[in-house]
């Protein structure tokens, strides 16, 4: 008889208690989605503010549907949050670990939060299904997670079940993608994977792909690395296009008509908390085995240099109308890492604004977030663009694609200069309205 018969019974009959360590961008949506399916869910977080907010029915994660979902599940008594993280382990049959795995200044993985959550889980793993969802440097489950969990005296696969199942949902479409994306399930044993499959099948209609832990770890990092390399290629081609007088947006659009070409878009830099970091997980993993990942490292460099490229473009654009950067007011449109999110982590705006500030006046605007990065800031676009010499589009918020150029022209100093980091405006239209238009890949 399997020692997990009781757990299996609870999972199959949906009577298991679910614990979630980490109520961040992914942990909270996961917790709320399970609670919405009728599971009793206890979420643990070390932030008092997060716990208070959740218990008040408020979602600190600003994503479509989250306010309603958290409000509803807390109100129904199925979702609760606590700072007593060991209590979360004690009360759970299935325990999800969804903590941040950032990189440090040295670009090396910082697994402090992960180690801490695993130590918490090691307070009582026996008889449970433990699922790690955080993105990991390949090899981490075996090298770091299992030893910490087994320090409890319990053995993985024998005394507790263990699965690595990375989150893969896109911020701005989080709930929708958690509910429909294929999910990778890497179990330490067949029983681990099968039970995890049961659990996840309740919240997703996506395919549940079973593999081993090492493959699951690698695949997650590979996906974001693929995106980073693809964007780097687009950025490099965009810089070539600028030299050749070719419109990169058009060139990429035409190239993508080829049935086997699918290039992403150039931009002012690659931000967020995943794509700029995950390639370093691969790089670090390879380094440990004496392997240098040349393509991935170069792609990172290209993308990390893009904010500087935009800075040079601002200077060139102002120069084209006889203005100097130091005598100009620069308006930055969008401080989030991409459009239509309120997340500013890793935003290219930060580097652009911080580099401009010692030289010139910077006034930024964002419709969705308050973040000045040290300069002047307003949620009212008029404050930013009034008497500006140059307007720089950094985040592709939907509202910027509808910019009223007549009004903008009236507000700005003449001749108005636009630097379009996202190619969100029509160059021809901007020029007709009297602007000097520069854009990444234009
Ligand atoms: N970007 C470009 N050009 C593009 C697409 C994006 O410059 O054509 C920039 C964005 O503006 C942003 C950055 O790249 O600054 C990253 O944005 P993103 O939308 O590409 O990705 P994220 O970080 O929001 O979400 C990614 C997703 N990964 C993949 O699509 C492979 C998501 O599915 C993951 O779950 C998420 O990372 C994560 O948490 O790992």
Distance 435 CA to ligand 1 centre (A): 31
What values do phi and psi take at 211, rounded to 5? -150, -170
Q: Check if 128 has its Cβ closer than 6 Å to any atom of ligand 1.
A: no
Residue 274 a catalytic site member? yes
Distance 219 CA to ligand 1 centre (A): 16
Distance 33 CA to ligand 1 centre (A): 23
Q: Check if 275 has its Cβ closer than 6 Å to any atom of ligand 1.
A: yes
Q: Is the pLDDT of residue 1 over 80?
A: no
Residue among 237, 257, 232 nearest 247 (CA) = 237
Distance of CA 255 to the CA centre of its chain: 28
Among 26, 272, 299, 346, which is best to mutate for testing ligand 1, by the most ligand atoms less than 8 A from CB? 272
Q: Check if 338 has its Cβ closer than 6 Å to any atom of ligand 1.
A: yes
Token code pair at residue 166: 């990375």
Q: Check if 227 has its Cβ closer than 6 Å to any atom of ligand 1.
A: yes
Q: Check if 421 has its Cβ closer than 6 Å to any atom of ligand 1.
A: no
Distance 217 CA to ligand 1 centre (A): 18
Half-sphere exposure of 29 (CA within 13 A, CB side): 24
By the 8 A CB rule, do 89 and 260 touch? no
pLDDT digits (tens, 9 = 90+) for 11-35: 999 999 999 999 999 999 999 999 9
Q: What is the position in ligand 1's atom list of the atom closest to the CA of 337?
A: 15
Q: Which of 274, 323, 329, 350 is catalytic?
A: 274
Among 268, 338, 423, which is best to mutate for testing ligand 1, by the most ligand atoms less than 8 A from CB? 338
The mean predicted confidence, pLDDT, of the chain is 97
Q: Is the pLDDT of residue 59 over 90?
A: yes
Helix, strand, coil % in the chain, rounded to nearest 5: 45, 15, 40
Task: Report, as an integer, the average pLDDT of 364-370.
Answer: 97
Token code pair at residue 3: 């020692």
Task: Report DSSP letters for 308-360, one per residue.
Answer: HHHHHHHHHHHHTTT--GGG-EEEEE--SSSTT----TT-HHHHHHHHHTTTS
Q: What is the position in ligand 1's atom list of the atom closest to the CA of 227?
A: 31
129-132 and 390-393 as β-strands: parallel, antiparallel, unpaired? unpaired
Among 100, 133, 227, 262, which is best to mutate for testing ligand 1, by the most ligand atoms less than 8 A from CB? 227
Q: Check if 231 has its Cβ closer than 6 Å to any atom of ligand 1.
A: yes
Q: Is the pLDDT of residue 295 over 80?
A: yes
pLDDT digits (tens, 9 = 90+) for 328-347: 999 999 999 999 999 999 99
Among 62, 170, 221, which is best to mutate for testing ligand 1, by the most ligand atoms less than 8 A from CB? 170
Q: Check if 229 has its Cβ closer than 6 Å to any atom of ligand 1.
A: no
pTM score: 0.96
Other C-beta atoms closer than 10 Å to the C-beta of 403 total 19
Counting beta carbons within 10 angstroms of the beta carbon of residue 258, is it exposed (0 to 12), middle (13 to 18) or buried (19 or more)?
A: exposed
Task: Report, as an integer, the average pLDDT of 72-82.
Answer: 98
Secondary structure of residue 56 in the 3-state scheme: coil
pLDDT bucket at 120, cuts 50 / 70 / 90: very high
pLDDT digits (tens, 9 = 90+) for 210-229: 999 999 999 999 999 999 99
pLDDT bucket at 2, cuts 50 / 70 / 90: confident
pLDDT bucket at 88, cuts 50 / 70 / 90: very high
Q: What is the position in ligand 1's atom list of the atom closest to the CA of 306?
A: 7
The pLDDT score that the predictor gives to residue 390 is: 98
Q: Check if 274 has its Cβ closer than 6 Å to any atom of ligand 1.
A: yes
The pLDDT score that the predictor gives to residue 209 is: 98
Residue among 305, 231, 288, 269 nearest 109 (CA) = 288
By the 8 A CB rule, do 221 and 138 touch? yes
Task: Report, as an integer, the average pLDDT of 294-314.
Answer: 98
The pLDDT score that the predictor gives to residue 401 is: 95
Secondary structure of residue 192 in the 3-state scheme: helix
The pLDDT score that the predictor gives to residue 56 is: 98
Residue 107 a catalytic site member? no
Task: Report, as an integer, the average pLDDT of 379-386.
Answer: 98
Taking CA atoms, 168 is separated from 26, 59, 206, 219, 274, in Å, by 9, 20, 12, 10, 10
Residue among 220, 215, 254 nearest 237 (CA) = 254
- Inter-axis angle of helices 190-201 and 5-12, nearest 10: 20
The pLDDT score that the predictor gives to residue 3 is: 86
The pLDDT score that the predictor gives to residue 232 is: 99
Q: What span, in angstroms and rounded, lies between the C-alpha atoms of 268 and 250?
A: 18
- Which secondary-structure segment (H or E) carries 73? helix 66-75
Who contacts 23 (Cβ-Cβ below 8 Å, separation ≥6)? Answer: 31, 43, 44, 45, 47, 50, 51, 54, 60, 81
Token code pair at residue 378: 């307003």
- Inter-axis angle of helices 213-244 and 294-304, nearest 10: 50
Q: Check if 394 has its Cβ closer than 6 Å to any atom of ligand 1.
A: no
Maximum pairwise Cα distance, the chain: 82
Q: Which of 128, 220, 323, 338 is catalytic?
A: 220
Secondary structure of residue 187 in the 3-state scheme: strand
């Amino acid at each position: 008889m399997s020692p997990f018969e009781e757990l299996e019974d609870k999972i199959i009959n949906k009577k298991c208690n679910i614990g979630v360590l980490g109520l961040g961008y992914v942990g909270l949506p996961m917790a709320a989605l399970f609670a919405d399916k009728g599971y009793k869910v206890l979420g643990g977080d070390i932030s008092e503010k997060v716990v208070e907010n959740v218990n008040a029915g408020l979602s600190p994660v600003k994503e479509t549907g989250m306010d309603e979902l958290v409000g509803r599940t807390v109100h129904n008594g199925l979702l609760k949050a606590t700072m007593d993280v060991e209590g979360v382990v004690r009360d759970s049959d299935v325990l999800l670990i969804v903590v941040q795995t950032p990189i440090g200044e040295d670009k090396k993985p910082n697994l402090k939060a992960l180690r801490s959550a695993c130590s918490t889980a090691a307070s009582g793993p026996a008889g449970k299904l433990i699922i790690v969802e955080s993105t990991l440097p390949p090899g981490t489950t075996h090298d770091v997670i299992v030893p910490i969990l087994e320090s409890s005296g319990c053995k993985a696969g024998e005394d507790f079940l263990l699965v690595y199942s990375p989150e893969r949902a896109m911020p701005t479409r989080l709930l929708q993608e958690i509910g429909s994306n294929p999910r990778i399930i890497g179990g330490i044993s067949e029983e681990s994977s099968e039970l995890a499959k049961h659990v996840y099948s309740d919240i997703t209609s996506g395919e549940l792909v079973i593999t081993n832990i090492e493959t699951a770890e690698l695949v997650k990092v590979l996906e974001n690395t693929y995106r980073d390399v693809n964007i780097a290629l687009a950025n490099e081609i965009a810089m070539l296009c600028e030299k050749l007088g070719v419109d990169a947006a058009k060139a990429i659009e035409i190239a993508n008509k080829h049935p086997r070409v699918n290039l992403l878009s150039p931009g002012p830099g690659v931000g967020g908390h995943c794509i700029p970091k995950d390639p370093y997980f691969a790089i670090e993993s390879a380094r440990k085995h004496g392997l240098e990942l040349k393509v991935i490292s170069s792609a990172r460099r290209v993308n990390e240099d893009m904010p500087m490229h935009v800075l040079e473009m601002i200077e060139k654009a102002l120069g084209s109308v006889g203005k100097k950067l130091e005598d100009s007011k620069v308006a930055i449109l969008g401080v989030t890492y991409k459009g239509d999110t309120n997340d500013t982590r890793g935003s290219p705006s930060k580097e652009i604004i911080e580099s401009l500030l010692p030289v010139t006046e910077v006034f930024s605007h964002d419709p969705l977030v308050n973040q000045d990065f040290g300069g002047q800031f307003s949620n009212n676009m008029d404050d930013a663009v009034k008497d500006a010499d140059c307007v720089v589009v950094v985040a592709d918020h939907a509202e910027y694609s509808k910019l009223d150029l007549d009004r903008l022209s009236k507000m700005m100093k003449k001749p108005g200069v636009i630097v379009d980091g996202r190619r969100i405006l029509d160059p021809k239209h901007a020029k007709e309205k009297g602007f000097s238009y520069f854009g990444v890949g234009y």
